[in-house]
């Protein structure tokens, strides 16, 4: 089932658009088109990142994990628990785990995994783990608010023509 689009307020929309802009940077650099921005509850941008797996050869270099790496040694968990991670795409299982371990308390994402699978033309041998970030967050002992999919058309743009079916 394809999830319905979630409406956003102006602040969330602006930061999600920043994450989508980073997904375009990732694509321009030859990587998969994903971007992330982490914002403190006072509006400070704590981290901005893009997927760099092709550039680095590091299969864990997803936008969300790159953002968490930037923060985990320099921002305290209390601040992160009140922060929001904006991601151009629904976080995968690995990224959801990194978000959980970092204590980030809120996630807003663009394109969902169901729509992304259509772009990717996934076949049996190319499939991702089919566990949603919401499932991972639901297993967390601390609350992680999850909002999305949102701005689906905008978040889908960088994926158009990228994935080879």
CA distances to 4, 18, 24, 26, 79 from 61, rounded to whole Å, are 29, 19, 16, 11, 23
Set 64, 90, 130, 145: catalytic member: 64
Pair type for strands 45-50 and 35-39: antiparallel
The span from the CA of 165 to the CA of 160, in Å, is 12
For residue 64, indicate whether it is catalytic.
yes
CB burial string 27-53: b at 16+ within 10 A, e below: beeebbbbbbbbbeeeeeebbbbbbbb
CB-based contact 133:90 (threshold 8 Å) = yes
* Residues designated as active site: 64
């Amino acid at each position: 089932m394809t999830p319905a689009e979630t409406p956003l307020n102006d602040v969330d929309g602006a930061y999600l658009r920043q994450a989508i802009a980073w997904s375009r940077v990732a694509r321009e650099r030859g990587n998969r088109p994903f971007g992330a921005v982490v914002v403190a509850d006072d509006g400070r941008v704590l981290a901005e990142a893009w997927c760099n797996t092709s550039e680095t050869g590091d299969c864990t270099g997803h936008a969300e994990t790159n953002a968490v790496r930037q923060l985990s040694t320099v921002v305290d968990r209390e601040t992160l628990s009140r922060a929001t991670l904006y991601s151009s795409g629904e976080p995968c299982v690995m990224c959801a785990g990194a978000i959980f371990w970092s204590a980030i308390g809120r996630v807003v994402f663009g394109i969902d995994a169901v729509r992304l699978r259509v772009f990717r033309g996934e076949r049996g041998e190319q499939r991702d783990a089919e566990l949603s970030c919401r499932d991972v967050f639901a297993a967390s002992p601390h609350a992680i608010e999850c909002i999305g999919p949102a701005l689906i058309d905008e978040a889908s743009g960088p994926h158009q023509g990228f994935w080879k079916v």
